Amino acid sequence: MKVLITAPSLDENENVSGISTLVREIIKHGKAEFYHFQAGRKDDEKTDVNWVFRQIFLVPRFWRQIRREKIDVVHINTALVPFSILRDAALTATARLAGRPVLLHPNGGRFLMEEFESRPLAWIAEKMFRLASKILVLSEQEKQNITQRWQNLDVRILPNAIAIDQAFVSKRDRSERVIIFLGRFHESKGLHEIIEACRILKNENFHFRFDCYGAGALKDFFISEMTKILAEKFYYGGVISGTEKWKRLAESDIFLLPSRYGEGLPLAMLEAMAAQCVVVVADVASVRAVIEDGKNGFMVEPYNSSQVAEKLKLLLSNKADWENLRQNARATIEEKFAINDYVRKLESLYVEINKNRNASVQNRNSNGNIEF
């Protein structure tokens, strides 16, 4: 079976993206014949004339690749933010016009859980969802939210997964705890809450080191503010991937991601848990489907820097059961979020979608052109 799957660049040096990470693992572990279609901006890519021209020709290139490679199923990864909705709605319509069934896979975005602020954008998003053969979401909560918004959709649940065999753990017997942030430097990730929480901890004489890795628009701002607070106890290590990423996670104690909005099910959180970091993450979207507060990690309210500081104080003062938290985190990933099981379920869904391909084409032909 030939599957065309969309994602930003799969080069980790170009995109700090959970979608890209997941798609790399799907292609690596899957049995289907995968073709990657790059859709999404690189981290440091400028919105210049060349970028605009690439967007204009995105749909024709998508059409040609579907026809040239004789694709059976199109898997569109999207984020429910304005530009991604507009782009991926066009790609979904293009795939359907080419007679190919679409698996639409929302991976976060502000409007995944929040109401749309624009009626036209909500209308376009609904059209995109209804053109898809099936919708793939990350948790029961996401499914309920989507089906309450738009009825009569075929929505399936498949949480994200990671290649746990790549994760390794190390002895953490140092006296100074290490907090790590790994991801995109964007205000939605709770960067302001991290800064304020670290300021509180520093003022109360808690001792720790903070390491961060990634890229994004607020990188310079974040580095500047954190350096003012922590001085030599703050370290920025650029974009890391592969073995280096797993090594840094294994050397860290606490993974911090107090996101404000826009998450689906963060791959970096799952990776940190596999490496036996204790995660402190915001209770957003599908995170609660993974984290049992106080058992395999900690959750905080979005926009709540005081709660972030309190959870970190609990850990840094050694009042938490570190060993159980670490063991439970690793066990959670081993039992529920392994990539091999994920890919097997995903490819079963491809087969199911492909079986209905002829019926879908006949239905499209009998109804005339797809209205969009």
pLDDT in tens, 288-335: 999 999 999 999 999 999 999 999 999 999 889 999 999 999 999 999
* The domain made up of 2-161+339-367 is a member of CATH 3.80.10.10: no
Q: Is-contact 177 315, C-beta < 8 A?
A: yes
Q: What percent of the chain has pLDDT over 90?
A: 79
Q: Could you tell me the fold of the domain covering 164-336?
A: Rossmann fold (3.40.50)
Are 231 and 209 spatial neighbours (Cβ–Cβ below 8 Å)?
A: no
Predicted local confidence at residue 17, as pLDDT: 80
Q: What is the pLDDT of residue 186?
A: 93
Regions of the chain with pLDDT less than 50: 370-372
Residues of the chain with CATH 3.40.50.2000: 2-161+339-367, 164-336
**To 10 degrees, what angle do helices 191-203 and 305-316 make?**
50
Distance CA 209, CA 179 (A): 6
Please spell the DSSP secondary structure of 37-79, one letter per residue. EE-S--TT---SHHHHHHHHTHHHHHHHHHHHHT-SEEEEEE-
Cβ proximity of 33 and 350 under 8 Å: no
CA-angle at 297, arms to 295 and 300, nearest 5°: 115
Backbone angles phi, psi at 126, to 5 degrees: -65, -45
The C-alpha angle 80, 81, 82, rounded to 5 degrees, equals 125
